[in-house]
Structure 1
Amino acid sequence: MVAYHFSPPGLLLGSVLFALSLTPSLLPRTELVQGILSGCSFAVGYGIGNLAHWSWGFLGLRVPPGRITRLLGFLIALVCLTVVGIALGNANLWQNSVRSVMGMAPVATSQPLLIAATALPVALLLMLTGKLLVMLVRFIWGKLPAAMPPRAAMLLSALLVGAVLALLVNGVVLRGALRAADRFYERLDAVVSDEGGAPARPRQTGSSASLILWNTIGRDARIYVQSGPAASAISAMTGKPAIEPLRTYVGLRSAESVGARAELALAELQRIGAFDRSVLVLVMPVGTGWVDRAAIDTLEYLHGGDVATVAVQYSYLTSWLSLLVEPGYGSDTAQALFQAVYEYWTALPKDHRPRLYLYGLSLGALASQASTQLYDVLGDPFQGALWAGPPFSSSIWSWATANRQPDTPAWLPRFGNDTAIRFLNQSGTAHWPAVPWGPMRTVFLQYASDPIVFFDPSADWRRPAWLDEPRGPDVSPALNWYPVVTFLQLALDMALAQTSPIGYGHVYAPRDYIDAWVEVTQPPGWTKAELEALKRKIPADEYLP
């Protein structure tokens, strides 16, 4: 019977967290994903409630007589079933509130049943894991000296198990496993790199004339190098004259060290004539080495191909994993690339060198922000930066957001006097003040529904500022903050950040990149009507990840 085999406080708190997990978060969720989240939430709630229940008895506090305790247990079980039933009945309504702001079709009516069917085994598995940990604590307790006071022995056993568990989950073992995964994907990338022929055009990375061997860059790098629009395609898209854009990519296997890869990138840029172009952009890829084509294609359209971009790989891990475990990934590479290029760039005559910019998406934006310190470039500043989907741990983004102008929302702040840093989303630049830019232009492109940007490690116990009114245009009005649950929701949203439609979540649309690049790089010869026509002409769905 429920009263005898389960902790009533655990069941009650588990049911409450299960119900709250069905409420909206930043991104829509499938039945399978929601079931996993709800099962985890129930197990976490059960564990907390069960610990409170055990602590009550451990401290020797009084409990009601047996008959009353059993009656309370049955009443709690009934309340739990009611809470779970009501929550499942509202699950479709809550999910559709997220989908509607993203222009998605409603969920199927059978979704609640599928959620429950998925959540049950997940919750039972986690509860069984918790039971095994309790058995381990009791086993260690039994091995401690008999002279030790029982309660002190119990606490010591729990602390020992907790310390070992923390080490396994958040310490050497997990980091070692991720580094092993990084090495595995490196070997996989090397296998993929044996497929396909090298480019024929001499100025392409990996060609017979290139300093970078074709078999040292992986699949994502090859897409970046070969998928860009040719001069004819740019002219067809824009109706303006164009030249062939230049793209350079240095893989992790292209040179032995960070410094060697940066020097190789500079040498390749010199070989292909990149410093003769009007615009040069230093690109930091995402954790896997992928570069967002929507960002680079739109830049090349706007400048008629008179652009050179260079990317240097620093990892094989997906960005959200690196963010949680190794957020410093990429900083050394960004600094080495910037230092190598900037040193050469500053030695060129100012009227015979390209305008220099930085770009990064996701973990690439985090790494790119570490490229240099402002005081190191004040004497000869580069022209600006576009950082899309900057992760929550980004230093410059965090500082600017925390010090935003009063009465501006955290999801679209205004900073300082608006001359150096501005924030942009799918609403465009109409809300920007009529204030001229300073010598360096920095734009953060971010959607309010992007969990990579707005994940908050303190969401366990504190309501995030971006939930204050007014809400972002792509955030469900039914989204609320709940301790523990909101943290779990946002953590899962991070892993699914690129599953949203384009223009929402962590999937940035070409039209918004156009607005950002226009502000950062000031492409000549474009009217507002022409820019709007370009936005309509670019097939956005072709840029889905």
Structure 2
Amino acid sequence: MPKHHGRARGAGNQNPRRLLTTLGTSTLGTWTRQARRHAQRLNIPLPAALGGIAGYALAHTTSLLPRTPLFQGVVAAVNASVGYELGMMAADVAALRRAPKATPGVNPAPTTASPIVPNPLTGVPTPRPGNGSLRSGLAAAALGATLIGVPLAALRSQRRTAEFCQVPGPRVRWAPASAAASVAILGFFTLCWRITEMLLDWLSHHLGQRLAWRLAARALATLVVLAGTAVLFDQVILRGIRLAGRTVADRLDHSTPAGFTQPDRAVRSGSPSSGETWDSLGLQGKRFVSGGPDAARIARVLGSPAQDPVRVYAALDGRGLAGIARAVLDEMDRTNAWQRQVISIVTTTGRGNANEWSASALEYLLAGDCCTIATQYSGLPSAITLFTSREQPVAATRVLFEAVQGRLAAMPANERPQLFLAGESLGAYGSNGIFTDVDDMVAHIDGALWLGTPNFTPMHRELTRSRDAGSSAVAPVVDRGRHIRFAGRSAQLSADEAGRPLDAWQSPRIAYLQNETDPVVWWGTRLLYRRPEWLAEHRPATTPMGRMHWFPFVTFWQVCADMPVCRNVPEGFGHKYHASQITPAWAGVLGRDPRADYSAIEQALIEDVTIPPIKVFGI
């Protein structure tokens, strides 16, 4: 028998092996006691209840786009959780102030009228009122009425938003479906919170036996959890998402989209005469080079002779950005693209997608006398690229732009094609990012058209901040429209929102198209704590933005929830731009009157480009 068999068995006197044994055998009992204690805490402090109800109600205020019940349930559940936690914090602070100060050597007198119990998350005493069946019944009835009544009251606003976006509005059963989704998600949140709470309590209990202050134990436990979460997110979740995204992308890139075939025209990459093989272009590249009008189609629409437009595309195919740029130059040499009137560099989104309406509109307007370039810079979708390598589209654009610009600089000035930039969403961010400021941009390009530029684009923010006095953040006027113009409707390319004509549009001409209901344009982390300018302005009450109100945290999550459905609306709304917006914008950038009649080209674009079906919001 060991000599120390008679030693006291307190936790502080145990050797490491006995301490681990004690901890292991007590874990089940600790968790059981914790679960029993949580189950008994059926009464919720009034501030927490009011906070949860307020958060749930605020989540049903007007947002930019109509919502499915699932997304409405997500927003409502998150907001209710935050409101509840804020209410709990208020209750804890109030209880701490009411608690009598302890006198050394004197035990406080017991009380049974309003027992004080510690909050399991904060350790701060919180009063727990007595349990009454009548009170519980009334509370349950009020909760049920709130869960259904709030979404029912929001139906009118949802229908008005759906009507504005030209989609079917929700029916009455949208309300209970939304409430059910909220309850399910809240249940999941509660489960996660309880597990985390019990882990923190367990760590605090055992660490508290070895550290001087329980607060230090709590802080250490929190740091451990946060650090573990950060490592898990970065090394496991994000790495897994990147790996899964690339795997799916590789599989898709080896397929051919339905309805698209290898081009036989020499002016297209991927053709039999091209150095870029059909199979190397990837899914989006195949769509790009096989789409768009040919000379015969353009001539029929315009009623005048036309050329075959040049389309150049280069995918990753195991190359770096410099290798992709060299492949583009080789294709431009092969197709004699340097003799065209315009060269347009399109910065793609995610895995290499280019907006077909934008590329085709430019080709129609120029009667085919142009070369449009697009490349793939990532094997991941835009959403993943945004969080894992946001600077990749900027780097890809810069390498390609400098390569093309270098070749143009070597040509005689009177023989150089005009150089334009284009891009949508993450592509617009990439194109804007290669310039240091507005003067740098105006000095190096002949024009640009960007669609749905994200709010986090520095150039977009700077232009919006420096807008002319009296113009809005939704349709800012910069220097009376001398070089740069923002528009949601074609009329705004020639006049401000009040109908006042802009000054003459001088070269270089740059246009930003942004829909009032596009959450990509208006989303930003500052929505968490600051009312944005676009909500501080007076907008028409007929628009969703005109009926929106800013609330801390709430508005941020509302616009976040609009993001996944921002393309489930007709063109001209959300993050989708219509031919009737794009064609006049390109015409203006080319120096033509954006108010002229381009209906023949717009109709041809609608006929040429297949539009995916719109998901119905109402149920």
Do these two structures clear the TM 0.5 threshold for a shared fold by scoring above it? yes
Matched, 1:150 2:188: no
Cα distance change, pair 102–379 in 1 and its aligned pair in 2 (3 A): closer
SS in 1 for 2:421: strand
Q: Please tell me the residue identity of whatever aligns with 1:153.
A: A
Deviation at 1:262, TM superposition (A): 0.9
- Which residue number in structure 1 is paired with residue 322 of structure 2? 259
Deviation at 1:542, TM superposition (A): 4.5
Deviation at 1:391, TM superposition (A): 0.6
Correspondent of 1:33 among 71, 88, 94: 71
Deviation at 1:535, TM superposition (A): 3.5
Matched, 1:159 2:226: no
Matched, 1:24 2:62: yes
Deviation at 1:527, TM superposition (A): 9.1
How many residue pairs align between the two structures?
A: 541
Cα distance change, pair 117–378 in 1 and its aligned pair in 2 (3 A): closer
- Work out the CA distance in 2 between the residues paired with 1:541 and 1:24: 36
Answer yes or no: is the 8 Å Cα contact 2:250–2:379 preserved in 1.
no
- Which residue number in structure 1 is paired with residue 510 of structure 2? 442
- Work out the CA distance in 2 between the residues paired with 1:130 and 1:331: 40
- Work out the CA distance in 1 between the residues paired with 2:199 and 2:96: 18
- Work out the CA distance in 2 between the residues paired with 1:59 and 1:359: 60
Correspondent of 2:182 among 89, 106, 119: 119
Answer yes or no: is the 8 Å Cα contact 1:193–1:214 preserved in 2.
no
Matches within 5 A, 1:69-148: 69-70=129-130, 74=136, 80-146=143-209, 147-148=211-212
5+ long unaligned stretches in structure 1: none
Cα distance change, pair 415–35 in 1 and its aligned pair in 2 (3 A): same
Matched, 1:453 2:491: no
- Which residue number in structure 2 is paired with residue 331 of structure 1? 394
Q: What TM-score does the superposition give when structure 2 sets the normalisation length?
A: 0.80
Answer yes or no: is the 8 Å Cα contact 1:101–1:476 preserved in 2.
no
Q: Please tell me the residue identity of whatever aligns with 1:34.
A: Q
Q: Please tell me the residue identity of whatever aligns with 2:308.
A: E
Deviation at 1:496, TM superposition (A): 2.1
- Work out the CA distance in 1 between the residues paired with 2:85 and 2:335: 61
Cα distance change, pair 336–79 in 1 and its aligned pair in 2 (3 A): same
RMSD: 3.1
Cα distance change, pair 323–497 in 1 and its aligned pair in 2 (3 A): farther
Matched, 1:382 2:431: no
- Work out the CA distance in 1 between the residues paired with 2:607 and 2:543: 18
SS in 1 for 2:479: coil
- Which residue number in structure 1 is paired with residue 44 of structure 2? 7
Matches within 5 A, 1:220-259: 220-253=284-317, 255-259=318-322
- Which residue number in structure 2 is paired with residue 535 of structure 1? 602
SS in 2 for 1:477: helix
Matches within 5 A, 1:307-322: 307-322=370-385
Answer yes or no: is the 8 Å Cα contact 1:320–1:494 preserved in 2.
no
Matches within 5 A, 1:263-278: 263-278=326-341
- Work out the CA distance in 2 between the residues paired with 1:81 and 1:3: 21
Correspondent of 1:43 among 58, 71, 81: 81
Cα distance change, pair 458–543 in 1 and its aligned pair in 2 (3 A): farther
- Work out the CA distance in 1 between the residues paired with 2:468 and 2:99: 52
Residue deviations 1:105-144, cap 9 Å, x none?
3211211011112221111011111111111211221331
Answer yes or no: is the 8 Å Cα contact 1:502–1:544 preserved in 2.
no
Deviation at 1:393, TM superposition (A): 1.0
Identity among equivalent pairs (%)? 28
Deviation at 1:280, TM superposition (A): 0.8
- Which residue number in structure 1 is paired with residue 559 of structure 2? 490
Answer yes or no: is the 8 Å Cα contact 2:432–2:459 preserved in 1.
yes
Q: What TM-score does the superposition give when structure 1 sets the normalisation length?
A: 0.90
Answer yes or no: is the 8 Å Cα contact 1:244–1:306 preserved in 2.
yes
SS in 1 for 2:419: strand
Q: Please tell me the residue identity of whatever aligns with 1:18.
A: Y
- Work out the CA distance in 1 between the residues paired with 2:447 and 2:69: 43
Residue deviations 1:375-422, cap 9 Å, x none?
996897320111110011112111101221222111111113432221
Answer yes or no: is the 8 Å Cα contact 1:502–1:540 preserved in 2.
no
Deviation at 1:79, TM superposition (A): 5.1
Q: Please tell me the residue identity of whatever aligns with 1:522.
A: G
